[in-house]
């Protein structure tokens, strides 16, 4: 197999799943249904330039891994650990933040397939009295259209002290929902998109109620084991990342203040909204499998891919984002922002090409914006 080596990265072999590629599904009203074969080749020099600028803007390290029909393109820059100077590797595990939301949505959509959950049913049918409004449905929650206030706005108003106050805390889901309900709803049920972690805390409660299992067990049995995601873990409330990992560095709000090593934390403030640990390979495999229709029925995937516009270039489905790139290609996945780590994980509509990009810092808008350029390089090719 021909493959490319770029930067410090080694090259991996074909991903078995890619051998089973299915044709792109038709999608009315969307800009792109193309297979990776119809896309320009990934621009690995462009990826390297993106990672270089992310590091120049303050990220200790940054990585990108493109899986193009089983052929991996790996690029890294900078370090996994500022104390030892160890170079970042695309094999390093990291905290994926809200990419977790897609995992939670997948579990719930599988439960819909199993006739154990109805998307348009009120959340309160399954969790009586949890929410103050019986009109809030499961679909509203998974699409961030519930109007439930995002409690993390207040929790992290001050980034470092807010983080240190919760770093080792263990919350119940209901405590997090209660924090949200102290504030008025941001919109009437279904009326508007408003991103809120509270929605995916409710998703975690639904998973535990309907399966009788912890989300940890549900992720493992339904996604991690079937896809053989050997780098993917949900360890809450443990604070350590197992095995080999990139350390994560939170950027303080005060300019010039030193980065804060945020690696060890419970992530209890996010749980089913953001506490999964994974790797670039596993996220590429996960989104490829999802978009190829391997994790749920075609009908459920179509519901996940019914998008509400967010702005001129992004839209949100059910635990799934769409980003419309400058070349007219749309990609599907999620972003993540947890203290110390920014992640982008997206794939083409047919799942035949996927990208994971990660920088091991957060609270640095320049790095976040720059890293988005990895999507352009991965899916639009040389421009």
Contacting positions for ligand REY (CB under 6 A): 97-98, 152, 156, 159, 162, 197, 250, 270, 273-274, 336-339, 362-363
Closest CA to 270 of 147, 180, 189: 180
Strands 61-68 and 71-78, sheet pairing: antiparallel
Q: Which residue number, 159 or 370, has a Cβ lying nearer to ligand REY?
A: 159
> Annotated catalytic residue: which of 18, 98, 278, 352?
98
Integer CA distances (angstroms), 94 to 194, 249, 359, in order: 27, 11, 10
Residue 293, Cβ neighbours under 10 Å: how many? Answer: 16
CB of 115 to ligand REY, least distance (A): 30
Q: Which residue number, 39 or 148, has a Cβ lying nearer to ligand REY?
A: 148
- 98 as an active site residue: the answer is yes
Q: At 263, list the tokens.
A: 């690696």
CB of 151 to ligand REY, least distance (A): 10
Q: Which residue number, 126 or 193, has a Cβ lying nearer to ligand REY?
A: 193
Query: What angle, rounded to 10 degrees, do the helices at 44-56 and 365-380 form?
Result: 180
CB of 120 to ligand REY, least distance (A): 26
Q: Which residue number, 65 or 95, has a Cβ lying nearer to ligand REY?
A: 95
CB of 168 to ligand REY, least distance (A): 16
CB of 195 to ligand REY, least distance (A): 7
Q: Which residue number, 9 or 319, has a Cβ lying nearer to ligand REY?
A: 319
Q: At 370, list the tokens.
A: 């720059």
d(CA 33, CA 16): 23
CB of 219 to ligand REY, least distance (A): 16
Q: Which residue number, 98 or 279, has a Cβ lying nearer to ligand REY?
A: 98
Q: Which residue number, 98 or 102, has a Cβ lying nearer to ligand REY?
A: 98
Three-class SS string for the chain?
Answer: CCCCCCCCCCCCCCCHHHHHCCCCCCCCCCCCCCCHHHCCCCCHHHHHHHHHHHHHCCCCEEEEEEEECCEEEEEEEEECCCCCCCECCCCCEEECHHHHHHHHHHHHHHHHHCCCCCCCCEHHHHCCCCCCCCCCEHHHHHCCCCCCCCCHHHHCCCHHHHHHHHCCCCCCHHHHHHHHHCCCCCCCCCCCCCCCHHHHHHHHHHHHHHHCCCHHHHHHHHHHCCCCCCCCECCCCCCCCCCCECCCEECCCCCCCCCEECCCCCCCCCHHHCCCEECHHHHHHHHHHHHCCCCCCHHHHHHHCCCEECCCCEEECCCCEEEECCCCCEEEEEEEEECCEEEEEEEECCCCEEEEEEECEECCHHHHHHHHHHHHHHHHCCC
Q: Which residue number, 79 or 250, has a Cβ lying nearer to ligand REY?
A: 250
CB of 342 to ligand REY, least distance (A): 8
CB of 146 to ligand REY, least distance (A): 16
Q: Which residues are catalytic?
A: 98
């Amino acid at each position: 197999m021909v493959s490319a080596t770029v930067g410090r990265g080694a090259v991996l072999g074909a991903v078995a799943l890619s051998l089973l590629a299915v044709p792109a599904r038709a999608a009315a009203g969307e800009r792109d249904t193309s297979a990776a074969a119809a896309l320009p080749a990934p621009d690995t020099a462009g990826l390297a330039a993106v990672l270089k600028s992310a590091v120049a803007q303050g990220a200790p390290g940054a990585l990108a891994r493109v899986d193009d029909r089983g052929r991996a393109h790996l690029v890294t820059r900078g370090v996994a650990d500022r104390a030892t100077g160890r170079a970042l590797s695309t094999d390093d595990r990291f905290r994926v933040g809200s990419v977790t939301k897609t995992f939670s949505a997948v579990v719930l959509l599988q439960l819909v397939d199993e006739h154990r959950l109805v998307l348009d049913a009120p959340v309160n049918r399954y969790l009586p009295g949890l929410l103050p409004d019986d009109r809030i449905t499961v679909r509203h929650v998974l699409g961030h259209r519930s109007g439930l206030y995002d409690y993390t706005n207040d929790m992290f108003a001050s980034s470092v002290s807010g983080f240190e106050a919760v770093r080792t805390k263990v919350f119940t889901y209901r405590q997090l929902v209660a924090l949200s309900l102290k504030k008025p709803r941001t919109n009437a049920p279904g009326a508007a998109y408003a991103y809120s972690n509270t929605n995916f805390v409710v998703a975690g409660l639904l998973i535990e109620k309907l399966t009788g299992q912890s989300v940890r067990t549900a992720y493992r049995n339904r996604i991690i084991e079937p896809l053989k995601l050997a780098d993917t873990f949900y360890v809450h409330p443990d604070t350590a990342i197992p095995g080999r990992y990139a350390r994560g560095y939170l950027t303080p709000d005060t300019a010039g203040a030193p980065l804060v090593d945020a690696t060890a934390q419970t992530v209890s403030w996010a749980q089913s909204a953001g506490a999964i640990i994974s790797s670039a390979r596993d996220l590429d495999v996960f989104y490829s499998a999802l978009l190829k229709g391997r994790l749920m029925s075609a009908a459920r995937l179509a519901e996940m891919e019914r998008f509400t516009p967010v702005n001129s270039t992004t839209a949100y489905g059910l635990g799934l984002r769409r980003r419309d790139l400058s070349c007219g290609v749309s990609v599907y996945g999620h972003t993540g922002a947890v203290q110390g780590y920014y992640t982008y994980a997206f794939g083409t509509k047919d799942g035949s090409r996927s990208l994971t990009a990660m920088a091991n810092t957060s609270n640095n808008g320049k790095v976040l914006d720059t890293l988005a350029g990895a999507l352009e390089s991965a899916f639009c090719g040389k421009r």
